[in-house]
């Protein structure tokens, strides 16, 4: 991990030149594959302990992945430098997710009963992008190695996203992320040490959060294996479970409460935990994005809870738990389900559809539009409203003390336009594969926002993606990657000008 962190941290010493040196790209991808190789051993060991022959699959996958990783590193003939050009940044960001997902899919192909190539790739992409849609069923009867592997790729994906959001996206200026450029940081960020150290601290925080979550799950009543797996997929807000019934399997309210707390905690920017520890004060969380997100969550949870508790058959306590768990799961784009909330009535379906857009804070592992973009939209609109009334007054909207410049407004407009257009195009594409309207629309949104469950009778919270036609699965794979990479990183690569 430390090695990966160092390499990525080094990217901050960037050079904005339009050059692609493939040696540098292959070096970094090679290092990442070696890291992935290391993570293939825990599932192998688990299967050895469980006396399950699948350990060979993991050992074989590790051998092959490690071999390719070594090859890439060697081929780049030590031509590593501490600099990364803008184009290399884009290429690395996109390639790393695609390549890692492809290698992570290997165990799914060779396991007993083996998945088709499309299914294996779907599961791996869904894992690494922390979406959490699954094509597998009968999870409860699967050997422990593969269950652990699913959790591990989600957990790796989670830290990958945080690193990407902290370093690559502000550097690439994608989707308004320049608001989080550390170069422009104001006084309050001065205490932050160099990026390399931050990355180490972020990784440490991630491990610490996961450990705390696992212990809490254990204390609340999960067995050790479940606690570890669900801790990884909770902190990565990713949503794979070891049971077909997801959290419906666990009856203890304490377990659901732990999940709610950690899904919320994992929706906050990880870097704020680092700040809080460094300054020894919780005031690090007094951040405009966190405040906005917390308010939004509070309003949604309270509103939905009161609505559900109004029914004679549901007590207030039950309503708090049901709403808290399922709404927090969708807002944080985790995608666990404790029951089929679409059965609560039409009001719930409409509401959960809207929740699917939101997402947590940027710099967390969540997907969706994310709190800061919603806030920029809100602030820009409100500012615009003021300007409409008094055209001669100059009103400047600010966010976290930084001005919302035209640059940022345009980035956010571009992000929303593309997000919106993508939801539309993916809906149409899925519906031409014969999926119903609700399935197509919510499936497209769920993939693009990296949530997991969708709505409706095919891929709703009580179902899985196994029954979809292969074409639809391919579309969703593209959607999950596009959404995770915040659209523009991919669009830039696909542009002809990029390759000149």
Position among 345, 457, 467, 469 found at the interface with a second copy (CB under 8 A): 345
User: Contact 47/144 with Cβ under 8 angstroms?
Assistant: yes
User: Contact 79/21 with Cβ under 8 angstroms?
Assistant: yes
Position among 50, 117, 420, 469 found at the interface with a second copy (CB under 8 A): 420
The piece of 40-48, 102-110, 157-165, 384-392 that touches a second copy (CB under 8 A) is 384-392
Q: Is 86 among the residues that bind a second copy (CB under 8 A)?
A: yes
Cα 55 to Cα 39: distance, rounded to the nearest angstrom: 13
The neighbouring-strand residues paired with 118 are: none
Position among 63, 315, 410, 467 found at the interface with a second copy (CB under 8 A): 410
Sign, Cα dihedral of 402, 406, 411, 412: positive
Q: Is 399 among the residues that bind a second copy (CB under 8 A)?
A: no
The piece of 100-108, 183-191, 247-255, 426-434 that touches a second copy (CB under 8 A) is 426-434
The piece of 256-264, 286-294, 322-330, 373-381 that touches a second copy (CB under 8 A) is 373-381
The piece of 146-154, 160-168, 183-191, 416-424 that touches a second copy (CB under 8 A) is 416-424
Q: Is 463 among the residues that bind a second copy (CB under 8 A)?
A: no
Q: Among residues 366 and 411, whose Cβ is nearest to a second copy?
A: 411
Q: Is 417 among the residues that bind a second copy (CB under 8 A)?
A: yes
Q: Is 467 among the residues that bind a second copy (CB under 8 A)?
A: no
φ/ψ of residue 402, rounded to 5: -100, 145
Q: Is 114 among the residues that bind a second copy (CB under 8 A)?
A: no
Q: Name the 3-class secondary structure at 15.
A: strand
Q: Among residues 293 and 357, whose Cβ is nearest to a second copy?
A: 357
Position among 13, 74, 437, 469 found at the interface with a second copy (CB under 8 A): 437
- Residue 489, burial from CB neighbour count under 10 angstroms (0-12, 13-18, 19+): buried
Position among 279, 286, 315, 381 found at the interface with a second copy (CB under 8 A): 381
- Residue 110, burial from CB neighbour count under 10 angstroms (0-12, 13-18, 19+): middle
Q: At what angle do helices 316-331 and 346-358 cross, to 10 degrees?
A: 40
Short-list 94, 90, 81, 86, CA closest to 15: 86
Q: Is 435 among the residues that bind a second copy (CB under 8 A)?
A: yes
Q: What is the 3-state secondary structure (H, E, C) of 174-198?
A: CCCHHHHCCCCCCHHHCCCCCHHHH
Q: Is 422 among the residues that bind a second copy (CB under 8 A)?
A: no
Position among 413, 462, 474, 478 found at the interface with a second copy (CB under 8 A): 413
- Residue 499, burial from CB neighbour count under 10 angstroms (0-12, 13-18, 19+): exposed
Cα 247 to Cα 272: distance, rounded to the nearest angstrom: 29
Q: Is 346 among the residues that bind a second copy (CB under 8 A)?
A: yes
Q: Is 458 among the residues that bind a second copy (CB under 8 A)?
A: no
Q: Among residues 49 and 385, whose Cβ is nearest to a second copy?
A: 385
| One-character DSSP codes across 373-419 | HHHHHHHHHHHHHHHHH-TTS----EETTEE--HHHHHHHHHHHHHH
**Contact set for a second copy, span 158-197 (CB under 8 A):** 172-174
Q: Is 384 among the residues that bind a second copy (CB under 8 A)?
A: yes
Q: Is 411 among the residues that bind a second copy (CB under 8 A)?
A: yes
Q: Name the 3-class secondary structure at 254.
A: helix
**Contact set for a second copy, span 191-210 (CB under 8 A):** none
Q: Name the 3-class secondary structure at 85.
A: strand
Short-list 244, 249, 282, 251, CA closest to 265: 282
Q: At what angle do helices 316-331 and 288-309 cross, to 10 degrees?
A: 140
CB of 421 to a second copy, least distance (A): 8
Q: Is 108 among the residues that bind a second copy (CB under 8 A)?
A: no
Position among 91, 222, 284, 430 found at the interface with a second copy (CB under 8 A): 430
Short-list 125, 135, 134, CA closest to 156: 125
For the chain, how far is it from start to end, CA to CA, in angstroms?
Answer: 34
Q: Is 432 among the residues that bind a second copy (CB under 8 A)?
A: yes
CB of 314 to a second copy, least distance (A): 17
Q: Among residues 138 and 391, whose Cβ is nearest to a second copy?
A: 391
CB of 305 to a second copy, least distance (A): 15
Position among 427, 450, 458, 464 found at the interface with a second copy (CB under 8 A): 427
Q: Is 18 among the residues that bind a second copy (CB under 8 A)?
A: yes
* Binding site residues, a second copy, CB under 8 A: 16, 18, 86-87, 90, 172-174, 307, 345-347, 349-351, 353-354, 357, 377-378, 380-381, 383-392, 406, 409-414, 416-418, 420-421, 424-425, 427-428, 430-432, 434-438, 440-441, 455, 488, 491-492, 495, 497-498
């Amino acid at each position: 991990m430390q090695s990966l962190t160092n390499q990525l941290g080094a990217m901050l010493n960037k050079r904005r030149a339009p050059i692609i040196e493939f040696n540098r790209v292959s070096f970094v991808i090679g290092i990442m594959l070696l890291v992935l190789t290391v993570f293939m051993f825990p599932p192998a060991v688990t299967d050895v302990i469980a006396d399950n022959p699948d350990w060979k699959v993991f050992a074989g996958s590790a051998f092959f992945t490690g071999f390719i990783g070594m090859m890439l590193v060697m081929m780049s003939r030590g031509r590593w430098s501490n600099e990364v050009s803008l184009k290399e940044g884009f290429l690395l960001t996109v390639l790393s997710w695609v390549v890692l997902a492809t290698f992570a899919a290997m165990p799914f192909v060779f396991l007993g009963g083996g998945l088709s190539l499309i299914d294996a790739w779907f599961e791996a992409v869904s894992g690494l992008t922390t979406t959490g849609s699954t094509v597998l069923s009968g999870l409860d009867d699967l050997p422990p190695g593969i269950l652990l592997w699913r959790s591990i790729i989600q957990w790796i994906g989670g830290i990958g996203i945080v690193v990407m959001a902290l370093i690559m996206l502000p550097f690439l200026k994608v989707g308004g992320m320049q608001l989080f450029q550390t170069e422009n940081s104001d006084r309050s960020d001065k205490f932050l040490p160099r990026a390399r150290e931050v990355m180490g601290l972020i990784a440490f925080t991630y491990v610490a959060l996961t450990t705390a979550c696992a212990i809490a799950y254990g204390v609340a009543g999960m067995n050790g294996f479940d606690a570890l797996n669900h801790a990884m997929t909770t902190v990565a807000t990713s949503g794979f479970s070891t049971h077909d019934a997801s959290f419906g399997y666990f009856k203890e309210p304490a377990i659901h409460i732990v999940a709610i707390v950690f899904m919320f905690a994992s929706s906050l920017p990880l870097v704020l935990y680092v700040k809080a520890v460094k300054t020894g004060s919780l005031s690090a969380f007094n951040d405009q994005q966190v405040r906005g997100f917390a308010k939004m969550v509070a309003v949604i949870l309270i509103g939905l809870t009161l609505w559900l508790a109004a029914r004679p058959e549901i007590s207030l306590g039950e309503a708090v738990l049901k709403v808290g768990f399922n709404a927090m799961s969708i807002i944080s784009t985790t995608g666990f389900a404790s029951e089929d909330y679409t059965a609560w009535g039409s009001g719930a379906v409409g509401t959960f559809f809207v929740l699917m857009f939101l997402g947590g804070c940027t710099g967390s592992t969540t997907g969706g539009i994310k709190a800061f973009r919603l806030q920029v939209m809100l602030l820009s609109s409100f500012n615009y409203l003021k300007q409409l009334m008094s055209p001669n007054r100059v009103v400047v909207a600010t966010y976290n003390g930084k001005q919302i410049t035209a640059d940022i407004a345009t980035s956010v407009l571009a992000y929303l336009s593309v997000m919106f257009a993508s939801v539309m195009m993916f809906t149409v594409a899925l519906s031409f594969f014969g999926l119903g309207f609700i399935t197509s629309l919510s499936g497209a949104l769920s993939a693009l926002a990296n949530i997991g469950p969708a709505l409706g009778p095919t891929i709703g919270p009580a179902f899985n993606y196994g029954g979809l036609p292969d074409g639809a699965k391919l579309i969703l794979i593209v959607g999950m990657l596009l959404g995770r990479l915040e659209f523009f990183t991919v669009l830039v690569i696909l542009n002809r000008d990029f390759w000149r």
